[in-house]
Structure 1
Amino acid sequence: MAAEGPGPSPDTSLVSLYRWLDTVPLSRPRRNIARDFSDGVLAAEVVKFFFPSLVELHSFVPTSSTAQKVANWGHLNRKVLSKLNLRVPEEMIQQLVRSRPGMAEQLLQLLREKIQERQRQRKEGAGQPPAEPAAREEGGYLDTGHPKVQSDSGRGCSQEGAARAVTFPAGAGPGDMRQQLAEREQALHLARDTIQILQAKVGRLEQLLLLKNLRIDDLSRRLQQLQGHRR
């Protein structure tokens, strides 16, 4: 019996992982993956990109504090990863928090597998039209702080407006309509998620600008004091 061919090498697996990760618009550039993912924030952003309704990014605090990093991972475990049938062991969290080389890649490999598994389940449909879960997920995403498209009192008007906005070519069957609706829902999720990430970037830049101004003020005071002493 002929022996089975060798599986993908570790280097090949990492290249595939990094390419997959590059498709996700993270809020900060990837420099050192062990440190970048140590506080759990970017891991939350990865899940948010694929499943917007599962994650509320404001619940995760970018930090260098070990205690806050552990808190972020604990929250991610309980509120997000559990919905993907994934739980990061405590030992692994401690190693992630300490930026141990290779641990972030291990976590991302597990996360990618669970994300792809859930995507396959959605494609199979589980007996439901594709547009229905997309519509439910949109409602969950809007509950995380974005303005709602429709309210209870104005549900009829909002649905009527949405119906006018979505048009289909003549002769399109129910399958084509559902496919187009699903694609538009996904595009809407991606656009809103990108906006949220950009808003987070703006907030961080504003914080950096404030710190810079405070530093300039402090240096100016010290310079004035030094000049006064010389006189």
Structure 2
Amino acid sequence: MAQNLEDLYRWIDEHQITRHKKNLNRDFSDAVPLAEILKKHYPKIVDMHNYAPKNSLALKIANWEILNRKVLNKIKINLSQKDQVELAKCIPGAIEKLLLRIKTKVEKKSEENKIEPVNERVYFLEGISNQERHEEVVPIKIRAGSKTLDQKMVPVNIFDRMEQDIASKNEKIAMLQDKLEHLEKMVAIKDERIKDLSQQLQAVGSGTGDTSATPRARFFNKIF
């Protein structure tokens, strides 16, 4: 186990993390350094704008919820609510356990990419007119697999239109995701505020002494 941890610390040092490593559990408690590590290996699914440094427990948990839903679930690592709370609370061993799982998955992915063959084939797109078939075409790379398809090629103009459509849809999806994340953060802030107010009310309610002098008591005395 000690050797595994030494390997893990060396692996972490191979990544550029904006936060200086002092205490691993505390440094990773808001999920930001882990998001930076995952960004290197899964750049398409990690958006660093979603993960800002946090101090309060509720907002740290909110970061973990977003990272779990948007990234970890997609690489088949699922954090329970208990896991997220333990990570946010800096429970010893929680982050090491998660990082070891991620390290193993990243290394396995790297090995698979080295040995998996890529088969380049040319495809014609169904429904293309004869005139379009004489235009410049774009060959498409696909991974070799058991599924066999008729040969197709994509004309440049159609390929460009498809790329533009995809980019436009991705932009709309990103905007909706940003709105959702903003609402989630606002809910987390609201929950934190409600918690603070509840604690203040409990403190007032548990106080001793003559309550008739309180502003609320004076208000009701005026009414009645």
Aligned partners of 2:117 and 2:30: how far apart in 1? Answer: 35
Alpha-carbon deviations, 1:156-189, whole Å to 9, x = none?
A: xxxxxxxxxxxxxxxxxxxxxxxxxxxxxxxxxx
Residue 50 (structure 1) aligned with residue 41 (structure 2): yes
Distance 1:132 1:77, change over 3 A: farther
Query: Which of 39, 47, 50 is residue 59 of structure 1 equivalent to?
Result: 50
RMSD of equivalent CA atoms: 2.4
Corresponding residue number in structure 2 for 1:14: 5
Aligned partners of 1:28 and 1:113: how far apart in 2? Answer: 23
When Rg is computed on C-alpha atoms for both structures, the one with the higher figure is: 2
Gaps of at least 5 residues in structure 2 are 121-139, 143-159, 164-224
Query: Which of 102, 113, 138 is residue 111 of structure 1 equivalent to?
Result: 102
Query: Which of 86, 95, 100 is residue 77 of structure 2 equivalent to?
Result: 86
Three-state SS of the structure 1 residue aligned to 2:18 is coil
Aligned partners of 2:86 and 2:76: how far apart in 1? Answer: 21
Gaps of at least 5 residues in structure 1 are 1-9, 134-151, 156-231
Residue 33 (structure 1) aligned with residue 24 (structure 2): yes
Query: Match for 1:120: what amino acid?
Result: E
Query: Match for 1:89: what amino acid?
Result: S
Residue 69 (structure 1) aligned with residue 60 (structure 2): yes
Three-state SS of the structure 2 residue aligned to 1:91 is helix
Aligned partners of 1:114 and 1:41: how far apart in 2? Answer: 19
Corresponding residue number in structure 1 for 2:92: 101
Corresponding residue number in structure 2 for 1:122: 113
Distance 1:17 1:132, change over 3 A: farther
Equivalent positions of 1:144-223 (< 5 A) are: none
Corresponding residue number in structure 2 for 1:170: none
Aligned partners of 2:141 and 2:69: how far apart in 1? Answer: 26
The two structures have a TM-score, normalised by structure 2, of 0.52
Aligned partners of 1:63 and 1:41: how far apart in 2? Answer: 9
Distance 1:128 1:114, change over 3 A: farther
Higher relative contact order (CA 8 A, sep 6+): 1
Corresponding residue number in structure 2 for 1:199: none
Aligned partners of 1:59 and 1:92: how far apart in 2? Answer: 20
More off after superposition, 117-126 vs 16-25? 117-126
Query: Match for 1:86: what amino acid?
Result: I
Query: Match for 1:109: what amino acid?
Result: L
Corresponding residue number in structure 2 for 1:214: none
Alpha-carbon deviations, 1:90-149, whole Å to 9, x = none?
A: 2111111110111111110111112122222322336456x969xxxxxxxxxxxxxxxx
Query: Match for 1:69: what amino acid?
Result: K
Checking the alignment, whether the CA contact within 8 Å between 1:85 and 1:114 is kept in structure 2 is no
Aligned partners of 1:83 and 1:128: how far apart in 2? Answer: 25
Three-state SS of the structure 2 residue aligned to 1:35 is helix
Query: Match for 1:125: what amino acid?
Result: E
Distance 1:128 1:22, change over 3 A: farther
Query: Match for 1:115: what amino acid?
Result: V
Corresponding residue number in structure 1 for 2:126: none
The two structures have a TM-score, normalised by structure 1, of 0.50
Alpha-carbon deviations, 1:63-104, whole Å to 9, x = none?
A: 011111111111111111112111112211111111011111
User: Larger helix proportion, structure 1 or 2?
Assistant: 1
Aligned partners of 1:83 and 1:119: how far apart in 2? Answer: 17
Distance 1:88 1:126, change over 3 A: farther
Distance 1:101 1:132, change over 3 A: farther
Aligned partners of 2:30 and 2:117: how far apart in 1? Answer: 35
